[in-house]
């Protein structure tokens, strides 16, 4: 589906936020750090879309059938099939729905920039539970990112969110934990200790 390619592009753009942390500081990570090496390699095989020569009907199709110009489709298919075979039949489309995690980050103090998708709040609109996502509008205006690109965050202190499009630095203990609700599925959680508005 078209939204999946948009999702990858948008979360990739969000990576410019990250910086390195000192030895005594929480580990500042990027969203791609949460993905397995296999998922990252699979995403590198994603076909490049050329919209220039496409009809309205072709533009309305799903990405697998419109990945490359017609002259290159057979070759692209062969390459994609060979890579899929080598990776136990997984394709770049699987990476866009992946639940694979990075065990080395379990129970680790991290700092990550992202956007807030509110889930639980009190009468004064203090948000105590939310999904942290790599780009604005995820889970709300468009379908959610892959589960390994969503973090379920607990923040009992409560966050006052003025604007949904405001990014935040969230610091806390990251854990591998599956949380699913009607909004999305996440395979990471975090007990946040500090949340501050993102500034360059």
- What are the boundaries of each domain within the chain? 17-36+98-197, 46-90
The whole-number average pLDDT for the span 69-82 is 54
126-133/185-197 β-pairing: unpaired
* Contact yes or no for 30/15 (Cβ under 8 A): yes
How far, in Å, CA of 122 to CA of 129, rounded?
Answer: 10
What class has domain 17-36+98-197? mainly beta
3-state secondary structure (DSSP) of residue 4: helix
The residue among 87, 86, 65 whose CA lies nearest residue 77 is: 65
pLDDT single digits (tens) 14-23: 444 444 444 5
27-28/108-121 β-pairing: parallel
What six digits make up the tokens of 105?
């980050």
The whole-number average pLDDT for the span 175-185 is 95
pLDDT single digits (tens) 55-70: 666 555 544 433 333 4
Residue 27 clears pLDDT 90, i.e. is over it: yes
**Given this model, what pLDDT does residue 90 score?**
87
pLDDT single digits (tens) 104-149: 999 999 999 999 999 998 888 899 999 999 998 888 777 789 999 9
The residue among 106, 182, 87 whose CA lies nearest residue 144 is: 182
Single pTM value for the model: 0.69
The residue among 158, 67, 153 whose CA lies nearest residue 113 is: 153
Q: Is 137 exposed, middle or buried (0-12, 13-18, 19+ CB in 10 A)?
A: middle
Tell me the pLDDT band of 32, cut-offs 50, 70 and 90: very high
The more confidently predicted of residues 73 and 90 is: 90
């Amino acid at each position: 589906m078209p939204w999946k390619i948009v999702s990858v592009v948008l979360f990739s753009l969000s990576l410019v936020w990250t910086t390195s942390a000192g030895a005594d500081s929480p580990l500042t990570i990027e969203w791609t750090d949460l993905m397995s090496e296999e998922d990252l390699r699979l995403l590198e095989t994603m076909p490049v879309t050329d919209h220039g020569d496409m009809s309205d009907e072709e533009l309305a199709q799903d990405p697998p059938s419109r990945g490359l110009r017609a002259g290159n489709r057979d070759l692209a298919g062969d390459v994609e099939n060979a890579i899929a075979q080598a990776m136990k039949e997984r394709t770049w489309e699987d990476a866009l729905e992946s639940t694979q995690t990075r065990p080395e980050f379990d129970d680790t103090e991290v700092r990550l920039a992202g956007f807030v998708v509110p889930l639980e709040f009190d009468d004064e609109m203090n948000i105590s539970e939310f999904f942290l996502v790599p780009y604005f509008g995820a889970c709300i205006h468009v379908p959610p990112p892959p589960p390994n690109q969503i973090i379920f965050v607990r923040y009992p202190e409560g966050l006052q969110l003025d604007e949904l499009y405001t990014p935040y630095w969230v610091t806390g203990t990251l854990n591998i934990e599956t949380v699913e609700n009607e909004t999305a599925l996440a395979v990471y959680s975090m007990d946040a200790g500090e949340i501050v508005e993102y500034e360059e």
